[in-house]
Structure 1
């Protein structure tokens, strides 16, 4: 399984969107160098309020570019970085990967998939009604989260648009992604 990086984004201050960059540097055990969410322990405000000593399982956020076309069909305009992701991808079913999948990105970087992004109401502040398009329910009534996946950095490196991403699935039995 392989895909392509279409954009990379980071922001040193808290804001919903992240500006696109020419490259980002991933730091093992920390996340994206200079990004507000980088660190060993949680950095997302709601999680810090609950317990600031929790491990940071959300160091790097990846989202599939195909989601932008999907929500675009309903009139929403979303571009890379605007949903706060660090890496925008094309060509891989990120949401279908199991926990523990290793993503080799570019020449050196390795990410370990930890779970699904659990989007919040800030998405509706960005574009009213968008939250219902990225979180819904399937035919059985189960919650479906489409706003990307979260990961931790196992091996650092520089990531640029155009880099290849390859997935290495963990040993079976596979655990499906859940929110982190």
Structure 2
């Protein structure tokens, strides 16, 4: 989490999720949009980007490509392992103890990633074989039930009722 609008976040052993708001003490916590570019466009938009999650397998892939990236450095609030975050449908509920995050969509990586590590953006956004944009920088969600999430907590994945809709950028 980070109390200021910056790129990377502090690594902590636990965070408190506040229902309908996000991560306690994080600059992106709020009912309405908190990301500066979105606030400039329309500050009354609902905050569907309360929590940013990244699968740690991405860090492994980036290391293979020559980029050292540690948890929190891409601005995520939670890092997971063993969950195919990018393959989840919209509305999937991720339960960490008592806390529940509902997945709203994909993070849309921006130029700040290249400011952090030159060339990194090309590793996180590419074109698929079908010509569609592929985004690998994690997923966004809202806090549906608050609680404390600690390092090592198991994650329960609950898919929404069918039909399932693929994640798009939010």
**TM-score normalized by structure 2?**
0.99
Q: Structure 2: how far apart are the matches of 1:126 and 1:19?
A: 15
After superposition, what is the alpha-carbon deviation per residue over 1:99-141, rounded to whole angstroms, capped at 9, x for unaligned?
A: 0001101x20001000000010000000000001000011111
Shift of 1:71: 1.1
Match of 1:50 in 2: 41
Shift of 1:70: 0.7
Runs of 4+ in 1 over 4 A off after TM superposition: none
SS in 2 for 1:88: strand
Bigger strand share? 1
Matched, 1:85 2:76: yes
Matched, 1:94 2:85: yes
The one of 132, 135, 141 aligned to 1:145: 135
Matched, 1:109 2:61: no
Shift of 1:14: 1.1
Runs of at least 5 residues in structure 2 that lack an aligned partner in the other structure: none
Runs of at least 5 residues in structure 1 that lack an aligned partner in the other structure: 1-9
After superposition, what is the alpha-carbon deviation per residue over 1:66-95, rounded to whole angstroms, capped at 9, x for unaligned?
A: 001111111100000000000000001000
1:28-177 equivalent positions in 2, closer than 5 A = 28-105=19-96, 107-177=97-167
Match of 1:12 in 2: 3
Bigger relative contact order (CA 8 A; separation at least 6): 1
Q: Structure 1: how far apart are the matches of 2:54 and 2:156?
A: 15
**TM-score normalized by structure 1?**
0.94
Q: Cα RMSD over matched residues?
A: 0.5
Shift of 1:22: 1.8
After superposition, what is the alpha-carbon deviation per residue over 1:51-80, rounded to whole angstroms, capped at 9, x for unaligned?
A: 000000000000000001111111100000
Question: Number of residue pairs matched?
Answer: 170
